[in-house]
Amino acid sequence: MTPAARAIVIVPTYNERENLPILAAALMRHPGVDMLIVDDQSPDGTGAVADALAREHRGRIEVLHRAGDRGLGRSYIDGIRLVVDRPVDVICQMDCDLSHDPERLPALIAAVEDADLAIGSRYVPGGAIVNWPARRRLLSRFANLYIRVVTRLQVRDCTGGYRCWRREALAALPLDRFASDGYSFLVEMLYAAAGRGARIVEVPITFVERRQGESKLSAAVLAESVVTPWRLIATKSAAQGPGPRTPSP
Ligand SMILES: Nc1nc2c(ncn2[C@@H]2O[C@H](COP(=O)(O)OP(=O)(O)OP(=O)(O)O)[C@@H](O)[C@H]2O)c(=O)[nH]1
Ligand SMILES: [Mg+2]
């Protein structure tokens, strides 16, 4: 993307009261970058913190307060629907727990110059993970291997949530057909994009484990991750949606 590329970063939040202002301040230091916070009625009051940030950075930070069933996938779908037709070049996804370094955002946005999707990757040369116990590293490594073997995706880091999309590539995904919610939602997006021929690049990042707040990694989310790759290949055409539209003459 050109230096003047306009980007919006969608950040789903659930109990991130302490982390959110730090992330927002760091993102606001990047010119041309806006932020959409998608809060799921966090019991810790993250929604009110988000509203205060939106008032402080009027026109650059916006908040979507969700009602009903909470979930990472649902939050992303609602957030994407809200912004996907806006006049931006790039739409990004990022966790709020400061695991994803905002300093890497320009590199990810720049990578979308020659790609449809740039993934912040722990598993390419130059990528790293800080503060994860061996058990967690092994789980993530295994999850990625499992996904790659079952789905034949060529991506090294299929489960990371730090991504920048060329707006048109994101708009082409069949969001209404996505069925998964936890990490699996990220895998499902990737699978759909790859199936549509999206050009995917991985940009090395150093992932830092959260220091504040709690992980939402649950048994249900893990169970879903086991099943999802098989469901994706079993329902291949549904997950990928109709092929790219042929341009009209
Ligand atoms: N809106 C919304 N956001 C969520 C939900 N669950 C998690 N999040 C957010 O999604 C991001 C990633 O969640 P984490 O709890 O860090 O999950 P994780 O990164 O997979 O797990 P850790 O590596 O242990 O931190 C964070 O910004 C969370 O606040 C949810 O149900 N709704
Ligand atoms: Mg996290």
Distance CA(115)–CA(104), nearest Å, equals 17
At 2, list the tokens: 């050109």
Mutational pocket test of ligand 1: of 93, 95, 218, the residue with most ligand atoms within 8 Å of the beta carbon? 95
Is the torsion defined by CA of 65, 70, 75, 78 positive or negative? negative
pLDDT digits (tens, 9 = 90+) for 14-56: 999 999 999 999 999 999 999 999 999 999 999 999 999 999 9
Residues in the chain: 249
Q: Which of 79-83, 173-177, 244-248 has the lowest mean pLDDT?
A: 244-248
Which protein residue's CA is at the shortest distance from atom 22 of ligand 1?
215
Evaluate whether 7 touches 91 at the Cβ level (below 8 Å): yes
Q: Is 212 in the pocket of ligand 1 (CB under 6 A)?
A: no
pLDDT digits (tens, 9 = 90+) for 213-243: 777 777 888 888 889 999 999 988 655 654 4
Ligand 1 atom closest to the Cα of residue 38 is 1
Mutational pocket test of ligand 1: of 22, 216, 217, the residue with most ligand atoms within 8 Å of the beta carbon? 216
Residue 183: pLDDT band (50, 70, 90) is confident
Q: Is 178 in the pocket of ligand 1 (CB under 6 A)?
A: no
The alpha carbon of 91 is separated from its chain's Cα centroid by a whole number of angstroms, namely 9
For 68, counting Cβ atoms within 10 Å of its Cβ (0-12 exposed, 13-18 middle, 19+ buried), the class is: exposed
Q: Is 12 in the pocket of ligand 1 (CB under 6 A)?
A: yes
Q: Is 196 in the pocket of ligand 1 (CB under 6 A)?
A: no
Evaluate whether 79 touches 3 at the Cβ level (below 8 Å): no
Ligand 1 atom closest to the Cα of residue 16 is 29
What's the pTM? Answer: 0.92
Q: How far is the CA of 215 from the centre of ligand 1 (A)?
A: 6
Residue 2: pLDDT band (50, 70, 90) is low
pLDDT digits (tens, 9 = 90+) for 125-178: 999 999 999 999 999 999 999 999 999 999 999 999 999 999 999 999 999 999
Counting Cα atoms < 13 Å in the Cβ hemisphere of 65 gives 11
Distance CA(157)–CA(126), nearest Å, equals 13
Q: Is 16 in the pocket of ligand 1 (CB under 6 A)?
A: yes
Evaluate whether 183 touches 221 at the Cβ level (below 8 Å): yes
Ligand 1 atom closest to the Cα of residue 210 is 25
Q: Is 97 in the pocket of ligand 1 (CB under 6 A)?
A: yes
Helix (H) or strand (E) holding 167: helix 167-171
SS3 214: coil
